[in-house]
Homo-oligomer: A and B are copies of this chain.
Amino acid sequence: MAGLDEGERELWDAWKRSTEGVRARINAEVAGETGLSEADVSVLTHVHDGGGGALRQHELAVAMGWHRSRLSHHLSRMQERGLVTRESVAGGVELRTTTMGRAALLRARPVHAAAVRRHLVDAVPARDRDRLLTLLRLLAD
């Protein structure tokens, strides 16, 4: 078959628009008010909340579903800005947040939560949330 039929095209279109839109809106809101990207917040949260203050880079990559090189690049930028430290230990690299990183995270958390609520959670009717969650998990594989 050559192309998508009408129903398939509609779903694909709505998928692209909503995923791009939600991502862009949340990112713009968080970045504008805190100077951290959504990815920064996610990384800081994992490193800070997990592993008793330290976290292996590999663990973080798995937890976030990121490729090694993506995480490496991102951590380099965050390290440059003084948000995290990297210390190489036996069999890996151990991550810690800096004082500055923790301060930034504390400032960012409420902004991030508000943005996620406004642009995702509250935009979905309460009685559809479970079903949506199930479908999203299916799609995540």
Contacts and interface: CB of A to CB of B under 8 A. Distances in A.
Nearest to A7: B129
* A contact face: mostly helix, strand, loop, or mixed: helix
A22 B119 CA distance: 20
Contacts of A139: 18, 21-22, 119-120, 123-124
Contacts of A121: 4, 8, 11-12
Copies in the complex: 2
A65 interface: yes
| List of 5 A-B pairs having minimum Cβ-Cβ separation, nearest first | A14-B136, A18-B139, A17-B140, A19-B19, A18-B140
28 contacts: A1-B113, A2-B109, A3-B110, A3-B113, A4-B113, A4-B116, A4-B121, A8-B116, A8-B121, A11-B121, A11-B129, A12-B120, A12-B121, A14-B136, A17-B65, A17-B140, A18-B137, A19-B19, A20-B65, A21-B139, A119-B139, A120-B139, A123-B139, A123-B141, A125-B138, A128-B135, A131-B131, A132-B132
